[in-house]
Amino acid sequence: MIDRLREWRGFILFVLVMLVFRSAVADWNQVPSGSMLPAILVGDRIVVDKLAYDLRIPFTQRRIARWADPARGDVVTFTSPEDERLLVKRVIGLPGDLVGMVDNRLTINGEPLDYRPLQRRGSFLRFEERLPDSVRSVVVQAAVSGSRADSFAPVQVPPGHYLMLGDNRDHSRDSRAFGFVARERILGRATAVAFSLDYENHYAPRTDRFLADLD
């Protein structure tokens, strides 16, 4: 038994190093739903920078150093306060923000966001949504017919928490369902697509999405 462990020690060490790396430094996660369309497609494997905001002890939620906080517009991964599942959503509301929504159009701190129609496809409209104090543009996909979650009264984000929404607003379970997300639950920032498979086309690779940056 000892001799066999010696033979496999190189492989065992490699596995341990990879597990530590994925837990505390960087990871890649499969996206099984379309809640972040069109920024993230079903079948994308996204790269998550787990050092974007802080350093955690591997395999725990304990932070030993913190150098940044999530910014509005960041795409982040976190554990759901509803059922502990790993989710990926976009940061919309920062601590202290007053956020509301009417017919899929957001207001932040009393200021309505700027929307520009980009594309119509069937029963869907695609908009460019510009967030305040953010240089990036957010592309959302919103159904023409209203949904039960397309509007909510202004709510204030409590200290140490964030309001998360999916870009595919009418098909995302996010802060509208499970509430605000505590800072401690945020695991890292999604930065790019490692690779992508088209599930509806016999898992064919989408080579144009390999190593594509996330907006």
- Token pair of 16 as six digits: 């341990």
| 33 catalytic residue (yes or no) | no
List Cβ neighbours of 153 (8 Å cut-off, separation of 6 or more).
100
Nearest to 82 by CA among 183, 187, 174, 188: 174
DSSP for 170-201 reads GG--SHHHH--EEGGGEEEEEEEEEEEEEGGG
Q: Is 35 marked active-site? A: yes
Which amino acid makes up residue 15?
A: V
Provide the 10 A C-beta neighbour count for residue 175: 23
Sign for the CA dihedral angle at 151, 87, 114, 125 comes to: negative
- Catalytic residue (one of 23, 33, 35, 175): 35
Given the residues 23, 33, 80, 89, select the one marked as catalytic.
89
Q: Which distant-in-sequence residues (6+ apart) come within 8 Å of 7 by Cβ? A: none
Whether residue 43 contacts residue 31, with contact meaning beta carbons closer than 8 Å, is answered with yes
Instruction: Catalogue the active-site residues.
Output: 35, 89
